[in-house]
């Protein structure tokens, strides 16, 4: 079995790390470079950087900030936000990113997934999906959860895989920041439907939630933000706990 991954996420707004609940009510969470360095030293398996207002505000991700973070960490680094074309991908990889996360731009222009996979390899392309469970099922949203689309979660994830995405990063908007556990039922279905790794996001509040997302949700990786930023869970202690729960993780 492949080792499960623990991934802190830096949501960036105006150059600062922020954290909200259900994608709103954002509050400051610290300097992104300092947090990134700390997570790398604490034993995080990867780091995700999302410029959460880049698509909404129609500007490019902070290339200089990406470069500064990359210089301070020694773990794989995924960057997302405001990526619309191959030149954006090339620029961010040049700044030190290992992988690129696309969300709104992929929904608007699905062929971008094909282009990134073809030009840089599937391992570079992470398809991020923000979805909300409604009475009619799970539906995907654009622009940091602001705009509902006609894309259904499971069919869109499958299309993303077929187009060449190397991983799916699924955030449940219902669970985001609530700290009551991940969307394990939906995650398990995604894991069953797909042959590429699924990264779970949204809902981490205590160590048991990580255990459950790997066992019940069948996720390959668990992403979290607030519980790490505000010191509720330390990554080293989380890994010891998961080891004791017989979950294969990276040391």
pLDDT digits (tens, 9 = 90+) for 36-52: 999 999 999 999 998 86
Note if 11 is an active site residue.
yes
pLDDT category at 13 given cuts 50, 70, 90 is confident
Q: What Cα–Cα distance (Å) separates residue 36 from each residue in 39, 78, 196, 205?
A: 5, 12, 26, 20
Mean pLDDT of the chain: 89
Q: What is the CATH number of domain 5-244?
A: 3.20.20.70
Q: Which of 190, 177, 192 is nearest to 227 (CA)?
A: 177
Helices 111-120 and 86-94, axial angle in degrees (round to 10):
40
* Claim: this prediction has a pTM higher than 0.85: yes
Catalytic residue among 45, 130, 176, 220: 130
Angstrom distance (rounded) from CA 165 to CA 157: 9
Q: Hey, where are the domains in the chain? A: 5-244
Percent of the chain exceeding pLDDT 90 equals 70
Q: What is the pLDDT of residues 203-244, one digit of tens each?
A: 999 999 999 999 999 999 999 988 998 789 999 999 999 999
| Alpha-carbon span 140 to 149, nearest angstrom | 6
Place 146 in a pLDDT band, splitting at 50, 70 and 90: confident
């Amino acid at each position: 079995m492949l080792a499960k991954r623990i991934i802190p996420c830096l949501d960036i707004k105006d150059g600062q790390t922020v954290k909200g609940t259900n994608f709103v009510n954002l509050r400051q969470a610290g300097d992104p470079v300092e947090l990134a360095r700390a997570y790398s030293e604490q034993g995080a398996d990867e780091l995700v950087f999302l410029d959460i207002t880049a698509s909404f505000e129609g500007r490019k991700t902070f290339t200089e900030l990406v470069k500064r973070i990359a210089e301070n960490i020694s773990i794989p680094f995924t960057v997302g936000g405001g990526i619309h074309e191959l030149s954006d991908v090339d620029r961010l990889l040049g700044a030190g990113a290992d992988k690129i996360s696309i969300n709104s731009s992929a929904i608007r222009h699905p062929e971008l997934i094909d282009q990134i996979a073809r030009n840089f390899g599937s391992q570079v392309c992470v398809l991020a999906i923000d979805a909300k469970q409604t009475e009619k099922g799970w539906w995907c949203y654009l622009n940091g959860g602001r705009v509902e689309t006609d894309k259904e979660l499971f069919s869109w994830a499958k299309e993303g895989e077929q187009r060449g995405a190397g991983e799916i990063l699924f955030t449940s908007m219902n669970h985001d920041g609530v700290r009551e556990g991940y969307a394990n039922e939906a995650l398990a279905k995604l894991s069953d439907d797909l042959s590429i790794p699924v990264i779970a996001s949204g809902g981490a509040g205590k160590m048991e939630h990580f255990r459950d997302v790997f066992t019940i949700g069948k996720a390959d990786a668990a992403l979290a933000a607030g519980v790490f930023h505000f010191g509720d869970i330390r990554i080293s202690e989380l890994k010891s706990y998961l080891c004791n729960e017989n979950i294969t993780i990276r040391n």
